[in-house]
Structure 1
Amino acid sequence: MQLSDSDHGRAAGRRQGHAVLLCLADDYGNPEGGASFEYETFLPVLRQFFDKVTVWPFDRLLLKHGYFRMNANLEAWVRHEAPDLLFCVPFENQVDWSMLANIRGSRTTTMAWMCDDQWRFEPFSRWLAPCFDFIATTDRTAYQRYLALEDVRPLLTQWACDPHRFRPIDAEPLHDVAFIGSRAPHRARYIKALRRAGVRVHVRGRGWPEGRATSEELQITPAQSLISLNFANSCGRVKQLKARPFELAGTGTCVVTEYEPQLSSFFEVGEEVVVFRSRSDCVRTVKALLREPERARLIGKSGRHRVEREHTYADRMSLLLVAAGLQGTPNRSDGAVCVMS
């Protein structure tokens, strides 16, 4: 995996400039886990808008240099190179956030994309927010809470899909129903209920007997499945809209997902995705779609078209860059995708 890259081609909407991606290189910082979600998601989209993108993999650099040297090197490098944008996806406290507060207001615009604000806002996110020029959050409640903080500029955005990574496959489905994701008691109960009802469910992921899914399986298996399951459970009983429904829809599979209140702002429920609210509801819904495979295929195609029109990371990043005063190419917004303070 290459961790620093420059692309001197000219893509539509691209601006000349230099961006830094500050994130985990490896999945949850585990060198054996493959590339991190952050690396695979945000490097390609930043390369669409900047001629040069440098990746600072803070998990690897922390192991190599230690906390103090790594952070000192980062601050010195940013001040010397003066990139246009430092785009950070915080994980834990590998980075000295006060160091980034020192950079705030310099020639480099700093922006953090916060994950899991539904449950991380109070113990984590709110304390980092003043260290950045802009804070991007996918949670509407957190956005309002950021607005109440002094000297914090939040941007409301949402997860999306890279339609080049997650795309349909022109072939008959290999699986009736698939779930790719880590095992949790909540999810295991649903899979058990489906299998007891006679539904064949292909499962892969961390903690399942079938084994962990590769990065390729995350992308290809949904496209090879008539129906793909998604769960909205997060920390405890918290329900949240994550990236996975957008990625699944991008593959053209029929997404059957646990109900989450924000989902209807981004998809037509029943036409572009299907929701369930309980185990019995999930079983009924899946079995009904298996009896009507053409309906399932139509829902999958409609979901893919919605993603292509409105829910790509290029759309999201463009709006964030414009909001931050950097040149972007705004494509479209329904007024709810990105709200500027």
Structure 2
Amino acid sequence: MKILCLFSEFQYGRPELGTGIEYAALMPALERLGHQVIHFETWHKAAHADFLELNFRLLEVVERERPEVIFAVQVHYEVWTEVLDLLRARGDTVLINWTTDDSWKYWQFSRFIAPHYHAISTTYPDKVEAYHRDDHFNVWLTQWAAAAQTLQPPLPAAECTYAVSFVGAAHGDRQERVAALAQRGIHVECFGHGWPSGPVEASAIPEIMRRSVISLNFANSMGANQIKARTFEVPGAGGFLLTDPAAGLERYYRIGEEIDVFTSLDDLGDKIRHYLAHPEERDTIARAGFERTATEHTYDARLRELLAFAFQQFGEAADRPAPRVVDSGHLARLHSRGPVIKTVRAAALAGARRIWGPDKGPRAARRLAFELSWRLAGARTYSAAGLPGRLFYEES
């Protein structure tokens, strides 16, 4: 099957942050399942002049390549809902979206785009009920995973290069937590954007985790701990995972037998010292975590299930009313960026720069426009007429 993937090669569309997990993990998994995979860049702003060019190029690529499946990881309003409906109306392409951060993005994003895909995934069990309550029954509960190509059996603790490591950006309270461990006499080798060592290539991350006696995972996101890809990547790479607790984690691993969790900085410090002093116990848990991951928690398994569900939904969609379709000329008119839009943009940027400064101002203006739009305009935010996309392509 030919599958067209819509996401970025880079983390958050920014080359300086290194290769993104979607590009590094999802595409190879689809290829291992026997599919021909084509990539279309949707997040990196240098790839297209604006959202109009992005969406029109997408339509051209689909017409030329005629994929059986479009597999998207949509972030915000980069792919218009009208374009998704045009693609659905072709009748020969299954549209799938893999969502991220539904714990907080469902209300502002996922519920608005769900009707325009044949299938949409979520990694949050509690959000399945929300989808169903909003009459979106095309949702599939899945989870992040480990990339099969990175699976490696654990090294004994005695052969590891690092005692304790962390791989991830230095945002939130991560620097404070690492500093607090240092005050307790525990040094953590940190890799990623914002740390002195800087980002590392995606291909190097599994080996860092495998060569660490203990790999830390700080799972806090938008006020709540979440299961993320790192939860599976560490044991899959042969590492020993010591992580924040997160809701539902026990569904995937036996705590204290396949991975371990910490509940406070003091608990974290105590467990680090314990496992460093008891390498045999660490090795037993790392081996069990690896075997569980290799057996159950790879992207190959996740995507095989999601594809099967999506084709089932595609078949059932034939009995539903066809989506409303507009032509490209109408899309261009909806996305008009004439004098009024330019004036509003200039005023918004000038005001934001005065308040937040020249660096943070543009992104703050875009964020404010988005927050107002999804609350007041709802689904229109993700259409060609959406105001944030018309105002702030560069800052999106």
Aligning the two structures, in what range does the TM-score lie when normalised by the shorter sequence?
0.7 to 0.9
1:275 aligned onto 2:250: no
Distance 1:166 1:207, change over 3 A: farther
Is the contact made by 1:62 and 1:94 (CA closer than 8 Å) also made in structure 2? no
Which residue of structure 1 aligns with residue 303 of structure 2? 317
Letter matched to residue 222 of structure 1: M
Is 1:130–1:152's contact at 8 Å kept on the other side of the alignment? no
Does 1 or 2 have the higher relative contact order (CA < 8 Å, sep 6+)? Answer: 2
- The residue aligned with 1:99 is 83
**Residues 282-341 of structure 1: per-residue CA shift (max 9 Å, x gap):** 111111111101111111111000001100111111111221237xxxxxxxxxxxxxxx
- Where in structure 2 are there 5+ consecutive unaligned residues? 313-396
Select which of 26, 38, 44 maps to 2:22.
38
1:19–1:50 Cα contact (<8 Å) kept: no
Give the corresponding residue for 2:203: 216
**Separation in 2 of the partners of 1:212 and 1:147?**
40
Q: For the Cα contact (< 8 Å) 1:254–1:296, is it kept in 2?
A: yes
Alignment partner for residue 161 of structure 2, among 165, 174, 181?
174
Conserved in 1, the CA contact under 8 Å of 2:235 and 2:286?
A: yes
Kindly provide the amino acid, as one letter, of the partner of residue 211 in structure 1: G
Aligned runs of 1:212-251 on 2, under 5 Å? Answer: 212-235=199-222, 237-251=223-237
Contact 1:241/1:260 (<8 A) preserved: yes
Q: Deviations over 1:150-197 (max 9, x none)?
A: 354100000010132242465710111111111134222322232222
Give the Cα–Cα distance (whole angstroms) in 2 for the partners of residues 61 and 187 of structure 1: 28
Moved more, 281-290 or 74-83: 74-83
Give the CA RMSD over aligned residues: 1.9
Q: Secondary structure at the match of 1:59?
A: coil
Residue 299 of structure 1 aligns with which residue?
285
CA contact (8 A) 1:129 1:152 kept: no
Per-residue CA distance 1:122-152 (angstroms, 9 max, x = gap): 1111111111010011111222111122354
Structure 1 residues 133 and 85, CA, compared in 2 at 3 Å: closer, same or farther?
A: same
Q: How far apart, CA to CA, are the structure 2 residues paired with 1:169 and 1:260?
A: 24
The aligned amino acid for 2:204 is E
Residue in 2 that maps onto 1:139: 124
Residues 146 and 298, structure 2, Cα contact 8 Å, conserved in 1: yes
SS, match of residue 143 in structure 2: coil
Aligned to 1:330: none
Q: TM-score, normalised by structure 1?
A: 0.85
Counterpart of 1:88?
72
- Aligned partner (choices 266, 270, 273) of residue 284 of structure 1: 270
- 1:199-228 CA-to-partner distances (Å, cap 9, x unmatched) read 221112211233333323322111110110
Q: 1:185 to 1:74 in 2, by over 3 A?
A: closer
Per the alignment, in what secondary structure is the counterpart of residue 273 of structure 2? helix
What TM-score, normalized to structure 2?
A: 0.74
The answer on 1:75 being equivalent to 2:62 is no
Unmatched runs of 5 consecutive residues or more in structure 1 = 1-16, 327-341
Report which stretch shifted further, 281-290 or 143-152: 143-152
**One-letter amino acid matched to 1:99:** V
1:71 is displaced (CA, Å) by 0.8
CA contact (8 A) 1:228 1:248 kept: yes
Per the alignment, residue 157 of structure 1 pairs with 142
How many residues are paired up?
Answer: 309
Q: Structure 1 74/50 Cα, relative in aligned 2: closer, same or farther at 3 Å?
A: farther
- Report which of the two structures shows the higher radius of gyration computed on alpha carbons: 2
* Structure (1/2) with the larger strand percentage: 1
Higher helix share: 2
Q: Does 1:196 align with 2:180?
A: no
Does the Cα contact within 8 Å between 1:256 and 1:275 map onto a contact in 2?
yes
